[in-house]
Amino acid sequence: MEETRPILYGVADYAEIRRANAWFVDRTAKIRDLETTRYAVFLRPRRFGKSLLLSILRAYYDVQFADRFDEFFKGTDIGANPTDERGKYLVLYFNFSAVSKDARKVEDSFNEYASICIDAFAENYRERIPGGIAEKILATSGCIAKLAVITQGLMNKGVKLYVMIDEYDNFANTILAESGQGAYDALCHGDGFFKQFFTNLKDMTTGTEAPVTRLFITGVSPVTMDDVTSGFNIGTNVSLDPEFADLTGFRHDDLRAITDYYAAHCGFDAEKAYDTAIRWYDNYRFGSASAPSVANTTIVLSFFSYLWRTKQFPRELIDENLRTDYAKIRHLVTADRRLNGNFHVLENLLAGGRLTERLVKSFQAREISEKENFTSLLYWFGITTIIGEDMGMTEFGVPNETLKELAAKMIPDAYADIYKIDGRIFDINRELVRFARHGEWQAFIGIISGIVRENFAVRDAVEGEKVVQSTLITLLCAAGGPYFVRHERESGGGFYDIALAPQLSRWPEIAHAALIEMKYVKVGDPAPTPEQLADIKSKAIDQLDQYASDPALIAEWHIGVAGISLATGTTGVPPVALHRLVLVFHGGECLLNEEV
């Protein structure tokens, strides 16, 4: 029997992947498109396969690997029809994720790391560059000076360099988020060492037979590039170009291929695996709403690696590395222990499910607080994706369950920073589990209502309804538990406010689910009379009747009675009981919470 191909999760070494005959999605045809741009900047969220892409480019273009072309590219698209540029370059490679994120140490760390990379370049190509230049590079101190030696020594010598920079903004993003604007400006403005590095890099592309013929830079956001280069003037940002929308990431056909292959070899449920991958890791669109949907490469491989190794579905569907990555940017929504405008953008996203702004391709860190810039930053970080367009405006939404959970977690984290509520998140989680088993909803609603009241007391009452909505939604999301927390989803011809949809594929023992209709009375209006409250409740019941009658909801949630699942019509399948809850708030005060 054919040996199952391994999955090398977290491995970004193309040569190792090929040697091991590991799972690999061939995007090498895109190399031809990339050659139309000499100096390219390509931005994608974390864990999207950018490092592997650079490894592929290095294997293709590096003169050191020219005689191993068949080993690396046999059976690939570019292997069958290579370009004239293959195997023609000396490659100067940097990966700035190796630089310290400590603002006090970053300059020395950067200089040391970049110097090591340049020295490795001199050693690797000692026999391919004019005599004496390699020795001069090695004898020179400091990365900036070493770059100058390369520029002067290789100018007009007919030597072609390809500079590749991976994670160009890795340490800068962390310093901005955790150490603040001042520390960040010291890197990227004035005489900052990072800005000087890019200035020297630009010099290496300028002049007759300049040594740097090609440049490829990867990162997450355009912010640092805009700061250090005054608007991408050393390169072209190809990140939104339609031909590169699926340069990295798994398309649906890729997900189907990996699902069918490992299901056949490992014996797990193929449809369940495919649906899980789509729901949790897919639905990113880069550049436009018409771009092909792609899934997060590394996280998909993590998921299928677990299935391949254990033959079981993981209980935890979010990769901890990704959770750590997104935790870093929580600091962008607070300043001086106060919630800032960025927080309100995120809050509106979670309350309304979408944001509409112009997609900004380039802006500086000091401009992040502007609403359209922060909205675009959420897109560049992968927290949102493009779901629609209208007359120059872009509609953004959260792409999948992973990002819904991570994005929602940022708001309670900010609350925790300001209001110290983090301990109660665990209480909500515990009570959601109790609800899933026994249908006891009063405790978690009570905890959340109390936090809404506290939060509302220090918030702007003008957006009071959104404050209440986002607090309810994000606390439920952040608490985790056995539910998909959904809101503003269509059901029965209407749109319900909040749903606790059971994750039955992970926890088939869940016995209870909930639809929550939230009604709001403005804080400046008089409290409703008993008669008015009864009328509000009656309207909420009519809406819940409408939502709960939807056949798709009944089938997906396995809503049933008397031991008969209405989804399948078969006996012996544990039914899920649906609880319909009405919450009425007057400002931040919950006047009514009842099951109807």
Q: Which domains does the chain have, with CATH numbers?
A: 26-244 (3.40.50), 421-596 (no CATH)
State pLDDT tens for residues 22-39: 999 999 999 999 999 999
pTM above 0.95, yes or no: no
Angle at 314 between CA 509 and CA 260, to 5 degrees: 105
The residue written with tokens 């870093």 in the block is 328
pLDDT > 80? residue 414: no
Q: Which of 307, 261, 302, 270 shows the shortest CA–CA distance to 5?
A: 261
pLDDT at 107: 92
- The span from the CA of 122 to the CA of 117, in Å, is 9
Distance of CA 222 to the CA centre of its chain: 15
- The span from the CA of 319 to the CA of 305, in Å, is 12
Kindly report the number of other CB atoms within 10 A of residue 60's CB atom.
25
145-159, 420-434, 436-450: range with lowest mean pLDDT: 420-434
Residue 567 pLDDT class (50, 70, 90 cuts) = very low
pLDDT at 476: 87
- Of 350 and 583, the structure prediction assigns the larger pLDDT to 583
Residue 571 pLDDT class (50, 70, 90 cuts) = very low
Kindly report the number of other CB atoms within 10 A of residue 439's CB atom.
15
- The span from the CA of 162 to the CA of 87, in Å, is 11
Segment 355-380 mean pLDDT:
88
| Burial class of residue 458 (count of CB atoms within 10 Å of its CB; 0-12, 13-18, 19+) | exposed
88 contact partners, CB below 8 Å, separation of at least 6:
61, 63, 66, 160
pLDDT at 339: 59
- The span from the CA of 515 to the CA of 548, in Å, is 8
Please give the structure tokens belonging to residue 200.
Answer: 């020297």
pLDDT > 80? residue 278: yes
What is the 8-class DSSP label of residue 155? T
pLDDT at 508: 87
pLDDT > 80? residue 175: yes
- The span from the CA of 545 to the CA of 402, in Å, is 30
Name residue 592's amino acid: L
State pLDDT tens for residues 281-295: 999 999 999 999 999
- Of 179 and 434, the structure prediction assigns the larger pLDDT to 434
Residue 421 pLDDT class (50, 70, 90 cuts) = low
46 and 328 Cβ atoms separated by less than 8 Å: no
pLDDT at 564: 40
408 and 474 Cβ atoms separated by less than 8 Å: yes
Residue 415 pLDDT class (50, 70, 90 cuts) = low
588 and 453 Cβ atoms separated by less than 8 Å: yes
pLDDT > 80? residue 566: no
pLDDT > 50? residue 78: yes
pLDDT over 70 for what percent of the chain?
Answer: 91
State pLDDT tens for residues 196-248: 899 889 889 988 889 999 999 999 998 888 888 754 477 889 999 999 999 99
| Burial class of residue 388 (count of CB atoms within 10 Å of its CB; 0-12, 13-18, 19+) | middle
pLDDT > 80? residue 54: yes
Average pLDDT over the chain, rounded to whole?
88
- The span from the CA of 40 to the CA of 164, in Å, is 10
pLDDT > 90? residue 50: yes
- The span from the CA of 528 to the CA of 8, in Å, is 61
State pLDDT tens for residues 465-518: 878 888 888 788 878 779 988 888 889 889 999 999 998 888 888 999 999 999
183 and 107 Cβ atoms separated by less than 8 Å: no
pLDDT at 419: 58
State pLDDT tens for residues 316-336: 888 887 877 776 666 676 654
62-66, 160-164, 481-485: range with lowest mean pLDDT: 481-485
506 and 571 Cβ atoms separated by less than 8 Å: no
What is the 8-class DSSP label of residue 421? -
- The span from the CA of 286 to the CA of 242, in Å, is 8
pLDDT at 439: 94
